Amino acid sequence: MRIQRALARAGVASRRKADALVEAGRVTVNGAVAVLGQVVDPARDRILVDGAPVAAPAPPQWFVLHKPAGIMTTARDPQGRRTVFDLVPRVPGLTYVGRLDLLTEGVLLLTTDGVAAHRLTHPSGEVEREYAVTVEGDVASALPRLRRGVELEDGPARVARASAEPLGRGRHVLTLVLGEGRNREVRRIAHAVGLVVDRLVRVRYGPVTLGTLPVGTWRSLTAEEAAALGVTAPARRGPYRPARRD
């Protein structure tokens, strides 16, 4: 991993502050002054900050959050709105896996394993995302179009599976499964086939399902889920925990 990420993962400083430490020449690797972007192996290389040794990073942490509507998926918001990082423990180097927009709810993975996060979000990985979409409109006409695929302004969008259940009064719950996660893709797909989205919930990301996890709370990734994702995660630590800061 890059030196600044190694420092962040070890809890020395945030990524931004770690950049500043390296640029100031305060970090050495095996006796030589480190340079920004340098690749290191924290398990083998001797890393010092101001002459003090840096411990090897802790094992990757993984959290499953039931993101509520109205919460930003970002590290910090210029308008001061709450973010997903306000709902989970403060862990150095934590990042999200697949952004959810402000009004979208559901499964959001967060991890300190940046390499795995990139792999799981890249379109080449084709990790399935399943959504429950409450819509209004002509669903009978929209479903065949969804199954054929929809042309968006940034290229074609392919829906792996699409089905619908009526709610009454012209409303349906669509189940949509996609193999990628472009910006606001589900909402744009629905709009392209003439449907109005009332509510959007991501109920599954790969093998990780929402289950009975209450809105606004988090849990640790299970060993079974980690194995299915092909990632390393510590053993699950106790029951579901409320999304709060102590």
In angstroms, the Cα distances linking 24 to 15, 31, 36 are 14, 16, 10
- CB neighbours of residue 83 within 10 Å: 16
Q: Of these residues, 77, 101, 113, 138, which one is catalytic?
A: 101
Whether 109 contacts 205, CB under 8 Å: yes
* Angstrom distance (rounded) from CA 196 to CA 92: 39
Whether 107 contacts 66, CB under 8 Å: yes
The verdict on whether 101 is a catalytic residue reads yes
Please list, in sequence order, all residues whose beta carbon lies within 8 angstroms of the beta carbon of residue 238, skipping any fewer than 6 positions away.
none
Give the residue numbers annotated as catalytic, written as ranges.
101
